[in-house]
């Protein structure tokens, strides 16, 4: 199986017990240097774990996402750690707006984060990590992770015109820059951010509508 074929295969729902599923995983495991976005996978065995040595190569090349060890992710290698602004238009969010951020050209499942302005006893910039992956972050189900807009104003002013960079902490590759927050307008209730050059913004609802 070719690398592009393996990525396309793993981008669709499949039974991990199928021989082709393990072949696709092994193809990606052998070509991590070509990977530009995270690929989430599931090993056979469910919550009971997987002790089959046939999957050792895949395990060694991927990271655990759960206690049983069967929900896993392939991480790209040689990621850039310094923020590099994109040439795309800035993203301006106000109450009720949301935007998803993913590596350029990646499937929805590889999205890093969803940003949304919500009202939680005051306007907040909500940040939900891995919003489209099949791996559930149970902590996000019980608490809202984010920043009050009033708490963002001073830190951004101290940047002296430079963006305050929001990064994603990836286990094996360190921090990855996602966006740079450039302005918070308390009167308008808006947050302005510029994308890193390696990411793009998308709306899954619009993409779903275009496929039908």
- Model pLDDT for residues 127-186, shown as the tens digit of each residue: 998 888 766 555 554 555 789 999 999 999 898 889 999 998 776 667 889 999 999 999
Which of 18, 40, 74 corresponds to the end of one domain?
74
Q: Looking at residue 197, what is its pLDDT?
A: 96
3-state secondary structure of 164: strand
- Residue in the block written with tokens 């996602």: 178
Q: Give a yes or no: residue 26 inside a domain.
A: yes
**pLDDT tens profile 185-204:** 999 999 999 999 999 999 88
Residues 101 and 140 in one domain: yes
Q: Give a yes or no: residue 191 inside a domain.
A: yes
As a whole number, mean pLDDT of residues 93-115 equals 93
- Residue in the block written with tokens 């690398």: 3
Residues 62 and 98 in one domain: no
Q: Give a yes or no: residue 30 inside a domain.
A: yes
Tally of CB atoms within 10 A around 195: 23
pTM value is 0.81
Q: CA angle, corner 178, sides to 14 and 153, nearest 5? A: 135
Residues 104 and 185 in one domain: yes
Q: Give a yes or no: residue 81 inside a domain.
A: no
Rounded distance between C-alpha atoms, residue 50 and residue 39, angstroms: 19
Residues 110 and 70 in one domain: no
Residues 25 and 59 in one domain: yes
Residues 55 and 10 in one domain: yes
Are 166 and 180 in contact by the 8 Å Cβ rule? The answer is yes
What domain range includes position 99? 91-210
Number of domains present in the structure of the chain: 2
Tally of CB atoms within 10 A around 126: 18
Q: Looking at residue 57, what is its pLDDT?
A: 95
């Amino acid at each position: 199986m070719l690398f592009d074929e393996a990525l396309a295969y793993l981008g669709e729902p499949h039974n991990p017990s199928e021989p082709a599923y393990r072949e696709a995983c092994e193809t990606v495991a052998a070509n991590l240097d070509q990977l530009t976005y995270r690929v989430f996978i599931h090993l056979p065995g469910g919550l009971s774990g997987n002790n089959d040595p046939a999957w050792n190569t895949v395990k060694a090349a991927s990271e655990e996402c759960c206690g049983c060890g069967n929900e896993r992710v392939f991480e790209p290698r040689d990621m850039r750690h310094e923020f590099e602004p994109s040439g795309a238009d800035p993203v301006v969010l106000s109450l009720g707006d949301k935007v998803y951020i993913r590596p350029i050209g990646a499937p929805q499942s590889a999205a890093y984060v969803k940003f949304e302005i919500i009202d939680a006893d005051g306007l907040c910039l909500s940040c939900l990590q891995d919003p489209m992956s099949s791996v559930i972050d149970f902590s996000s189900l019980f608490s809202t992770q984010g920043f009050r807009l009033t708490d963002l104003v001073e830190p951004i002013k101290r940047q002296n015109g430079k963006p305050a960079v929001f990064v994603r902490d990836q286990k094996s590759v360190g921090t990855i820059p996602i966006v740079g927050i450039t302005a918070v307008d308390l009167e308008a209730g808006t947050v302005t951010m510029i994308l890193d050059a390696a990411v793009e913004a998308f709306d899954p609802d619009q993409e779903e509508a275009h496929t039908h």
